[in-house]
């Protein structure tokens, strides 16, 4: 069969992969601090006897859109957004340090500070635990202060500080759990220059309109590749018919 069928197959495969990535992005268009995934592919010539007249699609190393997005004011004391570059340190499911921009914090029944995905937020000495308090305040440098129960407004107590990091974007990679880590696997150093905005959440950097438009484009591309495979099949059948006649 002509090589065009393999060309179409790889094109359909990459279109399906891009559709999967785009659908995942669209599903997280309202997830605070979400960073969009990117699907990449490039053409490679098909080498063999004669000239390389065909090209197939090959997956490139996937990337991520690290561009910041707007911070939406919520007025909720436990909501924080990062103003500019930087990351919040959290603990992943294996107990290792990882990074996110998601700052919709809440406390568990045991007083552990977690984000909206249930990941413990890290401070100077590990997961942050908050004692019962009348109120909680998070300063711009990540310092967490509480007003203990039964105390007046002048009795604020500092309990911990968010671990904020800012490694180069080229050294960060995204895991299947949606969290970022350094490529070398080492924890990043805390960066005092990273600032947070209390009472606000960073929105996802996925544009729902752009994602829907891209989905329609990718769907048409996938259908086109299927038509090419059908054409390859018909061409092969016609060639076989001619050979039988001759």
Domain residue extents for the chain = 4-65+206-245, 71-200
Lowest mean per-residue pLDDT among 69-78, 122-131, 206-215, 222-231? 222-231
Instruction: Work out the average pLDDT over 94-112.
Output: 95
pTM higher than 0.85, yes or no? Answer: no
**8 A C-beta contact, residue 211 and residue 22:** yes
pLDDT at position 193, please?
Answer: 94
pLDDT at site 68: 86
Give the Cα separation of 20 and 15 in Å (integer). 9
- Of 187 and 55, more confident: 187
Kindly state the DSSP code that residue 95 receives in the 8-state scheme: S
Sign of the dihedral through C-alpha 90, 93, 96, 100: negative
* pLDDT at 189 exceeding the cut of 70: yes
Residue 147 exposed, middle or buried by CB count within 10 Å (0-12, 13-18, 19+): middle
112 band by pLDDT with thresholds 50, 70 and 90: very high
List, for residues 130-183, the tens digit of each pLDDT value. 998 889 999 999 999 998 887 776 778 899 999 999 999 889 999 989 999 999
Is a pLDDT exceeding 90 seen at residue 89?
yes
DSSP string, 209-243: HHHHHHHHHHHHHHHHHHHHHHHHHHHHHHHHHHH
Whether the predicted pLDDT of 226 surpasses 90: no
Predicted confidence at residue 169, as pLDDT, reads: 87
Looking at residue 76, its pLDDT comes to: 94
Beta strands, E only, 66-198: 71-73, 80-82, 87-91, 97-100, 106-107, 113-114, 122-123, 126-127, 133-138, 143-148, 157-161, 164-165, 172-174, 180-182, 196-198
Is 1 a residue whose pLDDT tops 60?
Answer: no
Do 40 and 59 meet the contact criterion of CB atoms below 8 Å apart? yes
Q: Is the pLDDT of residue 32 over 90?
A: yes
pLDDT of residue 60: 65
Distance set, CA 15 to CA 37, 63, 183, 186, 235 (Å)? 15, 16, 28, 35, 23
Flag whether pLDDT at 56 surpasses 70.
Answer: no
Say how far apart CA 39 and CA 103 lie, in whole Å.
26
Least-confidence region, from 13-22, 24-33, 207-216: 13-22
Please give the pLDDT value at position 72: 93
């Amino acid at each position: 069969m002509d090589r065009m069928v393999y060309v179409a197959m790889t094109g359909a495969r990459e279109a399906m992969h891009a559709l999967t990535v785009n659908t995942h992005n669209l599903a997280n268009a309202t997830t605070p601090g979400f960073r969009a995934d990117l699907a990449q592919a490039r053409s490679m010539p098909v080498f063999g006897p004669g000239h390389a007249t065909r090209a197939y699609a090959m997956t490139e190393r996937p990337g991520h859109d690290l561009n910041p997005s707007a911070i939406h004011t919520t007025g909720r004391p436990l909501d924080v957004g990062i103003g500019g570059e930087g990351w919040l340190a959290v603990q992943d499911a294996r107990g290792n340090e990882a990074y996110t921009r998601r700052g919709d914090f809440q406390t568990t029944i045991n007083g552990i500070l977690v984000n909206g995905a249930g990941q413990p937020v890290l401070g100077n000495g590990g997961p942050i635990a908050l004692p019962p308090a009348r109120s909680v305040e998070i300063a711009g440098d990540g310092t967490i202060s509480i007003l203990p129960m039964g105390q007046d407004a002048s009795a604020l107590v500092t309990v911990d500080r968010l671990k904020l990091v800012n490694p180069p974007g080229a050294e960060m990679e995204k895991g299947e759990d949606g969290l970022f880590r350094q490529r070398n696997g080492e924890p990043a150093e805390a960066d005092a220059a990273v600032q947070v905005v209390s009472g606000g959440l960073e929105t996802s950097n996925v544009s729902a309109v752009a994602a829907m438009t891209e989905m329609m484009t990718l769907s048409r591309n996938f259908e086109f590749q299927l038509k090419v495979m059908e054409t390859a099949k018909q061409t092969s059948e016609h060639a076989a018919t001619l050979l039988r006649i001759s």
